[in-house]
Amino acid sequence: MHIALYTGMFKRNKDGVARCLHKLVRTFANHGHHVFIASPVLSYIDHPNLSFYKIKSKPLFFYPDYHISLFDFKYIQSILEYKPDIIQISTPDLIGLMLFFFARRYRIPVVFIHHSDIVRVFNYFGLGFLHYIINSILPLIYNKAIITFCPTNFYKRELHQLGVKRVGIWSRGVDHTIFNSDHRDKKLRKKWGAPEKKIILYAGRLVWNKRLDILIKVYQKFQKQNKIDTQFVLVGEGPILSTLVKKMPTAIFTGFLEGEELGTAIASGDLFLFPSDTDTFGQVVQEALSCGLPAIVSNVGGCQEIVHSSRAGMVISNNDVNAYYQACYKTLNDSQLYKKMRQNGIEFTRHRNWDSINLDLLKKYEKIVSFWQHKKAYKRYQRLGDSYRINIFTEIQRLLKRYGIIQDIY
């Protein structure tokens, strides 16, 4: 099977989405499928079943680490030569939409991956006025695809409320060789000046849309109350680093970490505080649970689903700084509760394996391609393509049900 994949970010370990996509394409490639990956920001992988195309782009003015793709006709030519069996679009920007219309023209099945809560993220950059436009456009695009996958039921419900009809779940796994409690490092804790202190840890990009304003206020409350001897550690990099250093003068800032260094840093903490309300899943939350850290998260976004399912932390009302503080204090101060949450997190993530989760998605892609190539269905589709009286994709959904495929995809 030939899979064409487009995403706005494919730099390894840049963020949770990029890490997930790297894991996904490796699974596809290792099982004999060829993947053609296009992105404006790329990390190349040396594998015979993987090929790459770097899209022309410009850095975003409000976050230069991320790029906006520009029109690239050569990319469409390369897709024509590649002849994909299925197209996966992870970013519905200019190139994503261009690729989508190309697929419609050449009758190639398209799957969208809803990775990012674009509307909520834009609010933090003064672009909230675009929310009506985005919420109007997304259902129009997504409903023309075979299916849209998102990582949690929270966003599945949100997409349904927007009017998106066909939504499935693609969850996330954990690399247990990197993220496990055995990597807890006493020497690192000593280096942080916290051999006996309770370490409250955050890992992720240092940007306001991760609700680091709440993190600052919780830090200030702990400094003022002085009930527990704590040390705040922030793992990551981003444009607001200098502001955070000023607001949190006693906190440790490790900078960007990846691989084993990241796993060791997380495992060496005691509590994971992640107040983001824009993450569709919160991969780093799941990795923290695997390292034995209870997690305190927001009740808005996808992170809450991990914590609710695992019972390995607390879900806090968004914007309630005092509730965040009380949750952190209670978790750290109640040893029995802490041990229970810690064990729950480790048990919950124990069987969340990347290969099994990604193979499940691969099987769904194979079923979609099989359906698309089914002689009767394909002829029916061709005949309908010349008739504008019937909605083609409504008919596709009917055929999916008829051939018993749709139950396996959702």
Tell me: the pLDDT tens digits for 301-336? 899 999 999 999 999 999 999 999 999 999 999 999
Asked if 360 and 168 touch (Cβ cutoff 8 Å), the reply is: no
Burial zone of 288 (CB within 10 Å; 0-12 exposed, 13-18 middle, 19+ buried): buried
Tell me how far apart the alpha carbons of residues 327 and 315 are, in angstroms, rounded to a whole number. 9
Q: What is the pLDDT of residue 173?
A: 93
For strands 57-60 and 63-69, give the pairing: antiparallel
Q: What is the pLDDT of residue 390?
A: 44
What residues pair up with 315 in beta bridges, in sequence order?
297
Kindly list the distances between the CA atom of residue 365 and the CA atoms of 96, 335, 360, in Å, as whole numbers in the listed order. Answer: 19, 46, 9
The CATH topology of domain 181-350 is Rossmann fold (3.40.50)
pTM exceeds 0.75: yes
Domain 2-173+354-409 in this protein, CATH class: alpha beta
Tell me how far apart the alpha carbons of residues 263 and 188 are, in angstroms, rounded to a whole number. 12
- pLDDT tens for 211-248 read 999 999 999 999 998 788 999 999 999 999 999 999 99
Q: Where in the chain is the domain with CATH 3.40.50.2000?
A: 2-173+354-409, 181-350
Kindly list the distances between the CA atom of residue 151 and the CA atoms of 155, 194, 284, 363, 368, in Å, as whole numbers in the listed order. Answer: 7, 36, 14, 17, 19
CA nearest neighbour of 108 among 99, 117, 116:
99
pLDDT at 375 over 60: no
Mean pLDDT confidence for 166-175: 93
Tell me how far apart the alpha carbons of residues 403 and 85 are, in angstroms, rounded to a whole number. 19
